[in-house]
Amino acid sequence: MGMGLETKGDTKELRKRILFLDLGRVTGWCDGHVNETPSSRVVILRKPSDDPALGIGKLARELRDYVRTNGKPDILGVEKWMPLPASKNDAATEDALRLNGAVHAVCGVYGIPVVEPAASEIRKAVCGHAFGPGPKGDRGTKQMVLDTVLALKLLPREAIEQGDSVFDRADAVAGWQYVSATMFGRMRFALTA
C-alpha cells in the first residue's frame, strides 16, 4: 500500500502546528506540524479510583508545561463533548466535560484557539464511516479508527503494545488528521492497488 498527500494549503499553512487531545481519564495526545507525521502519546490523568478533580489539575499542568516547552500550538482540537442523555457511560462523559472546561481555561490564558469537531464527524472524514461494524459505541468503531491511522502511517505499529490505551492515542491521531485536513487542506490517504 502506497501513501499520498493531497495538498490545498500554501507553504505558510504547512508550518502550522496542531495539538489534538482525546479527553478522558486516559487522554490521547497528538502533536505535529501540518506537513509532517505527528507524534502521539497517552497521558494517564488519574487512577479510576481517584477524584476527577485530580485529572483536571494534571491536565492543566500538562498543557501549561507543553506550552512552556514547545510554545503555543496554532490550534488545539478536542472532540465535542457528548450530551449526557446520549452517553452510554455517564461518568466518562462527565469527566470529559470537566476536562473540556480545563482545556478552554488554559487555552484562554494562552490565547490558543480551540476547535471541537464531533467524534462521528472525525471518523467519517478520516475513516470513511462514522461507526465501525457492530452496535454504536462498540469496540468495532475503536478498531476501525486504529486500523485507519495505522494504515495511514500516522501511528507506529509498536503503539499496539500499549493495550487499550492505544485507542485513546488513535482517536487523538484521527482528530489531528481531521483538523489538518479541514483547517489546513492536508489529507493523508491510503492508495489502494
In tens, the pLDDT along 30-39 reads 999 988 899 9
Query: What percent of the chain shows pLDDT beyond 70?
Result: 84
Which stretch of DSSP H or E encloses residue 144? helix 139-151
In tens, the pLDDT along 49-106 reads 999 889 999 999 999 999 999 999 999 999 987 776 666 777 777 888 899 999 999 9
In this predicted structure, the answer to whether residue 191 has a pLDDT above a threshold of 70 is no
Range of the domain at 62: 2-191
Nearest partner of 99 among 142, 62, 136, judged by Cα: 62
Please state, as a whole number, how many other Cβ atoms lie within 10 Å of the Cβ of residue 10: 9
- Secondary structure of 47-82 in HEC code, one letter for each residue: CCCCCHHHHHHHHHHHHHHHHHHHCCCCEEEECCCC
Which stretch of DSSP H or E encloses residue 6? strand 2-7
Nearest partner of 73 among 41, 35, 34, judged by Cα: 34
- 193: confidence class by pLDDT, cuts 50, 70, 90: very low
What total number of domains does the chain contain?
Answer: 1
* Residue owning grid cell 452510554: 88
Question: What's the confidence (pLDDT) of residue 137?
Answer: 60
Task: Give the CATH number for residue 34.
Answer: 3.30.420.10
- 186: confidence class by pLDDT, cuts 50, 70, 90: low
The pTM of this model reads 0.85
Q: How many CA atoms lie within 13 Å of 160's alpha carbon, on the beta-carbon side?
A: 9
Nearest partner of 169 among 44, 5, 12, judged by Cα: 44
Question: What's the confidence (pLDDT) of residue 13?
Answer: 64
Per-residue burial over 107-129, b = 16 or more CB atoms within 10 Å of its CB, e = otherwise: beeeebebbebebbebbebbbee
What's the chain's average pLDDT?
84
In tens, the pLDDT along 98-145 reads 999 999 999 999 999 999 999 989 999 888 888 887 766 667 888 899
CA pair distance 185, 8, nearest whole angstrom: 5
Question: What's the confidence (pLDDT) of residue 36?
Answer: 87
Q: Is 44 helix (H, G, I), strand (E, B) or coil?
A: strand
